[in-house]
A and B are shown apart, each in its own frame.
Chain A
């Protein structure tokens, strides 16, 4: 880990509301950054000069008075005049969303609106300045769709007889208290999930909602890094650590409230299985 990230938090213009600026300054410090807070009533010129003098990595502007359309672009102009436009400028405060495209067009890197969390902001700055965590690639495909059933024996004939899918195998996953039937479909699968005991999450699901789609599993390459990234972004997770799934896979569930009520599973297969299965 190199030197600490240096952030200039600045209040351009006459606005005196600095609760947000102060809270963010402290939150960034708690995330290990060095924060210089300019205090109130700074002109765009003063802010640009301070940023250069203090050799900061990023400038955060806060405005609640409605003067952002004038003042944020001015800060960028003053940086340009001093050949310092490589210092990224981000902003926040009371910024109506229709003003955001205008500010981005004027060179502001990002606007954080009311309700953004401080950890999201800290991660954004971290990634912007020091992208040590490579941006994790998007999931490549749907690994399987999990369907909760009372009994695999009762449910199976629809899949095998009516749809004509191939049953690839049945496995017991002790950790989840379920028996799983795998049915291949294209490069993906259905998994029929039957509870083995009353503590099984599938049993609880069935009691609450009845039979039906339980979850969607996405195959990813680096499940540990992805979980860390999601966690750092403040996404609610059911499993913060991976656990063992079927076929020797590593799996983790995201919380349904992260995805509008849909339960997503991330899974990663050990290399040899992957080669066997997907060639």
Chain B
């Protein structure tokens, strides 16, 4: 051994020998990066500060929000479903519950999500297409027929008219004789990401934020087990953001809701324990695992240090995960089963509370029953066969995972500072800041795919000629007509005076900023006023975005 190299550590010697090898046999790429452009080193070594990790169930929850995680109970397997009529969707729900699914998740059609009745001219061609069409309480009664609301928790992907659908759900619960305090579930109710990424907004931001804080307050008083919001990074990621942006913009939106609720007079610990989050699981496996861990740690610090929340429940970031729809390819759709498996595994290793696994055919249409079953089975295999659920936070201590977790936290914090400078998430949304950041990243991804810098198997590499199309689920074209007819029959048979009175009260209350609108909406819903009628009253007062 020569003298010059004697002082080098074992690692430095290794690095030196590797650098010689790399000169002769170059690596696959000059530079390796994650989806968020974090540079990936050849090898990670012990740099972890154990103290920042903490323990599961303890602040800052890097390692999970419960002390035993999946050793006590698996995550909730919650498949998003809904298509066509309430009756058909009800049948799919019952089927999924029989197959061992443990929670329901309702997809609504676009007219429902944007507050139009099925007979509105704007609804043409859209009724029942991407989810179930709900016009009045009668549809909701049919949707939940035979499903005990005290035993099953339901997640509803509804935002701008979330208050209306929540009231319908409560009304069905009352009819089933379930006390309000026993009703559990989630409404998405996250309007900021609609402006940023998903597009189903109705009203301008300010009155929209009022509806959200009205729901927080009403549920705190009467429906304490309901998750009043699911602050969603899912759609931000689908719109083309990277992992860091997904976490940063979601947490920034979360802070905006907390600010709005505090401003409306609520105490942080009154509503923060009911805040839930919703993230995406994409392809870069280890970055995704680290992302979930980092998000938990950042949110805990924000709630404890910035908002001075006292209740540990307020510090915990609970989240639902869905595998990444935009990662699925229409080409060779069976490959999607493998992608979904990896993504689902990342979510589980990241400590998710509930999970939706996409079906292989979702790049082509709504899933068939067979595809939906395989997706659910994927979760069951991970839970029961893989063994990853048998210990808490199994990847902790991996040099790479911990280093990435730290790096993501650092990058997210930079974005949060930037948004704070702009004046908060609402202001940043109105200025289009987040939209621009996401769009730039989406365009870069497209260019990388077209130049094959990023390989998508079956899409830009390893292609094959395909002729066979899988079975696709088609929504019957006659459904729109039937839904419109049933709406008309309900409108003809209800007590119109009661409806008019309820809508008039709602309008009056909407004009006064300090009145909580939920009781008036609940009365209107119970009188069988339609989603469109209720939203139109609010459109008159609030205007449209």
* A interface with B by C-beta (< 8 Å): 13-19, 22-23, 26-27, 40-41, 43, 65-67, 69-71, 74, 94, 96-98, 113-115, 117-119, 234, 260
Contacts and interface: CB of A to CB of B under 8 A. Distances in A.
B238 to A, nearest CB: 7
Contacts of B446: 23, 27, 118
Contact of B365 (A17, A94, A260): A94
A26 B477 CA distance: 35
A97 to B, nearest CB: 6
A73 B330 CA distance: 24
Interface in B461-492: 465, 469, 472, 475, 477
A18 B113 CA distance: 17
A65 B110 CA distance: 8
A172 B114 CA distance: 72
Shortest Cβ-Cβ A-B pairs, 4 listed: A16-B199, A70-B125, A14-B110, A67-B125
B130 A66 contact: yes
* Size category, B interface: 35 or more
A269 B111 CA distance: 63
B331 A115 contact: yes
Nearest to A95: B364
A86 to B, nearest CB: 25
Main SS class of interface, B: loop
B194 interface: yes
Contacts of B123: 14
Nearest to A14: B110
B442 A70 contact: no
Interface in B115-136: 116, 121-126, 129-130
Given A14-B123, A23-B442, A69-B477, 15 more contacts: A13-B125, A14-B111, A14-B116, A16-B110, A22-B439, A41-B122, A66-B129, A67-B110, A70-B125, A74-B125, A98-B469, A114-B363, A115-B329, A118-B446, A119-B450
Contact of A16 (B111, B116, B198, B330): B198
A267 B122 CA distance: 57
B330 A113 contact: yes
A238 to B, nearest CB: 15
Contact of B122 (A43, A74, A94): A43
B185 interface: no
A65 B127 CA distance: 10
Contacts of A66: 126, 129-130, 365-366, 475
B278 to A, nearest CB: 16
A14 B114 contact: yes
Given A18-B199, A114-B329, A260-B465, A13 B126 contact: yes
Contact of B199 (A40, A43, A70): A40
A97 B469 contact: yes
Contacts of B395: none
B95 interface: no
B450 A234 contact: yes
A115 to B, nearest CB: 5
A157 B532 CA distance: 85
Contacts of A26: 439, 443
Contacts of A98: 469
Given A70-B125, A96-B365, A19 B110 contact: no
Given A13-B110, A13-B125, A65 B130 contact: yes
Contacts of B239: 17, 19
Contacts, number: 97
B125 A16 contact: no
A201 B516 CA distance: 78
The A contact surface, by secondary structure, is loop
Nearest to A22: B439
23 contacts: A13-B126, A14-B110, A17-B198, A17-B199, A22-B439, A22-B443, A23-B240, A23-B442, A26-B439, A27-B443, A27-B446, A41-B199, A43-B122, A66-B129, A69-B125, A70-B125, A74-B125, A94-B365, A114-B330, A114-B331, A115-B329, A115-B459, A118-B450
Contacts of A16: 110, 194, 198-200
B135 to A, nearest CB: 15
Contacts of A22: 439, 442-443
Contacts of B439: 19, 22-23, 26
Contact of B126 (A19, A65, A118): A65
Contact of A67 (B129, B194, B238, B459): B129
A60 to B, nearest CB: 15
Nearest to A97: B469
B371 to A, nearest CB: 14
Nearest to B331: A115
A23 B450 CA distance: 12
A96 B364 contact: yes
Given A19-B239, A19-B442, A23-B442, A14 B365 contact: no
A266 to B, nearest CB: 22
Contacts of A14: 110-111, 113-114, 116, 122-123, 126, 200
Indicate the member of B125, B238, B469 with the most A CB atoms within 10 Å.
B125
A241 B272 CA distance: 64
B359 to A, nearest CB: 14
Interface in B336-381: 363-366
A27 B198 CA distance: 21
Interface string B96-120: 0000000000000011011010000
A10 to B, nearest CB: 14
A14 B475 CA distance: 17
A256 B228 CA distance: 56
Interface in B306-350: 326, 329-331
B205 to A, nearest CB: 16
B330 to A, nearest CB: 4
B26 to A, nearest CB: 20
Contacts of B125: 13, 67, 69-71, 74
Interface in B190-217: 194, 198-200
Q: Of residues A17, A27, A234, which shows the largest number of chain B Cβ atoms within 10 Å of its Cβ?
A: A17
Given A65-B129, A69-B125, A19 B240 contact: yes
Nearest to A72: B125
A74 B121 CA distance: 13
Interface string B25-47: 00000000000000000000000
Nearest to A39: B199
B280 to A, nearest CB: 13
Which among A96, A119, A234 has the highest number of chain B CB atoms within 10 Å?
A96
B392 to A, nearest CB: 36
A18 B450 CA distance: 19
B188 to A, nearest CB: 13
Contacts of A69: 125, 477
A101 to B, nearest CB: 13
Contacts of A117: 450
A131 B442 CA distance: 30
A39 to B, nearest CB: 9
Contacts of A15: 110, 126, 130, 199
Q: Which of A27, A43, A114, A260 has the most CB atoms of chain B within a 10 A radius of its CB? A: A114
A113 B326 CA distance: 14
Nearest to A45: B121
A188 to B, nearest CB: 27
A228 to B, nearest CB: 18
Contacts of B442: 19, 22-23
Contacts of A70: 124-125
